[in-house]
Amino acid sequence: MDQVRATEIVKEWQEIINGIGEGGVVEKIVLNNKSYTAEAARIIQDFVAKNNLTSTIKDADLSDIIASRMEEEGLEVLKVICDAFGDANLEEVDL
């Protein structure tokens, strides 16, 4: 997934979060089965931080997020995504 597609998806997610309303929480994020570029990962990281999702997310599905990426970029994507959830109190992580 590239930067353009990540921006589109984050926009859709933002609309969903806005629709949840006050008191609603996001407990799960699913990023699986899409291979992210480093730029796309940063967009997701910004979205998570902006919406303070680390305080509510308990489950993160991160499987296959670097499939077919070169090693250097794959490691960068993993670092960015892991940093995004660094303060989260995750109960389940699917890698």
Once rounded to an integer, what is the mean pLDDT over residues 49-64?
95
Helix (H, G, I), strand (E, B) or coil at 51: coil
Instruction: Provide the pLDDT confidence category of residue 41 given band limits of 50, 70 and 90.
Output: very high
pTM: 0.91
Once rounded to an integer, what is the mean pLDDT over residues 65-90?
95
What whole-number distance in Å separates Cα of residue 54 and Cα of residue 48? 7
* The pair of three-digit structure tokens given for residue 88, joined into one six-digit string: 């989260």
What whole-number distance in Å separates Cα of residue 62 and Cα of residue 82? 10
